[in-house]
Structure formats: structure tokens, C-alpha cells
């Protein structure tokens, strides 16, 4: 097929899709990315990784929608960030906020992030990843003794305790190894 014909087909497709579900800012990216990534975008912002990762696992922003990051990443919220003062310099906070917003679940084309975005539509913005309905459902069969009763896990909030490739944005069941329970298989 000739270039002009391909371009015309692409423009016609864009026009047809513009009034439907695909009417989003990153439409062109979605169309031009035929094989969407399966998981969530891994953390690739050094400042985000350093600041957030100094206290806990640097959660990929695709694990929460933008409305959650808006509530979490401001001076007031960070002054009491789950019982800790996590306030940041204004410029650092702006960088981290912008990064989280640009990579939030509702802005992502990664498949797992999109599922999280759908699970958080029409509900109050969750402040904890463990409050997301999709994530609760994915973990519901794991007995408490393997999480809360496990000295090497303690809580679902320690994603990287079991998800061996969490730092790469991979949360697939095939990469799960629950400490102290080597034979468990979901």
C-alpha cells in the first residue's frame, strides 16, 4: 500500500475514533503501540526513586490513578504521610508530582495500569495501593499467615517482598515468591 493511502487510512481512523472511547490525549501513542506492555511502567525517574524509595518501595505511579496522586503529593499530605513527615523541597515535589501524574494508571497504556484505572473510576480516590479494588481481588486468596503473619512480608504494602520483579513494573503471578512459603502457588 502506498504511503498516501496509509496516511489517509490513519487519519480516517483517528477521526472515527475521536468521538469514542479512544478520545484521549495519548491516542496516537496507543494506535502506534500495537503491542501494549502487560504490566505497569517501571519507575524511571531518579528523583522519584531516590525520594520515595528512601522510605519504602518506590511504587510505580501506574498503581494508582491521578486523583490519588493529587491527594498524596502536596505539602499538606506529605507533612503527615501515613504518620511520617515526608515534606519535600518545592522543586523536588513539583518534579515528583508531575512524574506521578504523567504515569498514573489513568494516563497509562500499560494493561495492568488500565485495569487499576478502571477499578478506581467512580469511587473515592484511594490513598493506599492496597485499597484498590483490583489489587484486593488479586490478593484475596492469600491467607493472612502468609502476609500479616509473615515476618518477611508484614503487609500487602511491601510489594517487593513477594513480587520479585516489582522494581521492573512486573507484578505477574509467575514472578511471585512468598518468603517462608516456597511451595505456595496461587
Q: What pLDDT, in 10s, does the model give residues 136-157?
A: 999 999 999 999 999 999 999 9
The per-residue pLDDT for 184 is: 74
Q: Which region among 24-33, 79-88, 125-134, 176-185 has the lowest average model confidence (pLDDT)?
A: 24-33
DSSP three-state, residue 7: helix
pLDDT of residue 125 exceeding 80, the answer is: yes
**Residue 17 or 92, more confident:** 92
Highest mean pLDDT of the ranges 8-17, 34-43, 154-163 = 154-163
Average pLDDT over residues 41-53: 96
pLDDT band at 7 (very low <50, low <70, confident <90, very high): low
pLDDT, averaged across the chain: 87
The per-residue pLDDT for 34 is: 45
**Residue 183 or 140, more confident:** 140
The per-residue pLDDT for 65 is: 98
Report DSSP state, residue 130: G
The per-residue pLDDT for 14 is: 59
Cα distances from 35 to residues 61, 116, 140, in angstroms, run 21, 19, 29
Task: Determine if the pTM surpasses 0.85.
Answer: no
pLDDT of residue 21 exceeding 70, the answer is: no
Please state, in angstroms and rounded to a whole number, the distance separating the CA atoms of residues 23 and 110: 17
CA-angle at 51, arms to 124 and 175, nearest 5°: 70
The per-residue pLDDT for 38 is: 85
Amino acid at each position: 500500500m502506498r504511503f498516501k493511502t496509509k496516511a489517509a487510512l490513519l487519519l480516517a481512523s483517528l477521526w472515527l475514533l475521536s468521538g469514542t472511547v479512544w478520545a484521549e490525549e495519548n491516542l496516537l501513542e496507543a494506535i502506534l503501540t500495537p503491542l501494549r506492555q502487560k504490566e505497569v511502567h517501571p519507575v524511571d525517574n531518579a528523583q522519584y526513586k531516590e525520594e520515595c524509595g528512601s522510605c519504602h518501595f518506590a511504587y510505580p505511579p501506574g498503581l494508582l490513578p491521578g486523583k490519588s496522586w493529587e491527594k498524596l503529593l502536596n505539602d499538606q499530605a506529605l507533612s503527615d504521610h501515613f504518620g511520617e513527615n515526608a515534606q519535600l523541597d518545592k522543586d523536588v515535589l513539583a518534579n515528583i508530582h508531575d512524574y506521578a501524574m504523567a504515569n498514573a494508571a489513568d494516563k497509562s497504556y500499560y494493561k495492568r495500569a488500565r485495569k487499576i484505572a478502571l477499578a478506581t473510576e467512580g469511587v473515592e480516590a484511594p490513598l493506599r495501593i492496597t485499597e484498590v479494588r483490583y489489587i484486593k481481588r488479586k490478593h484475596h486468596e492469600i491467607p493472612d499467615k502468609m502476609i500479616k503473619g509473615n515476618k518477611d512480608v508484614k503487609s500487602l504494602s511491601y510489594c517487593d517482598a513477594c513480587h520479585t520483579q516489582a522494581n521492573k513494573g512486573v507484578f505477574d503471578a509467575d514472578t511471585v515468591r512468598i518468603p517462608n512459603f516456597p511451595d505456595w502457588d496461587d
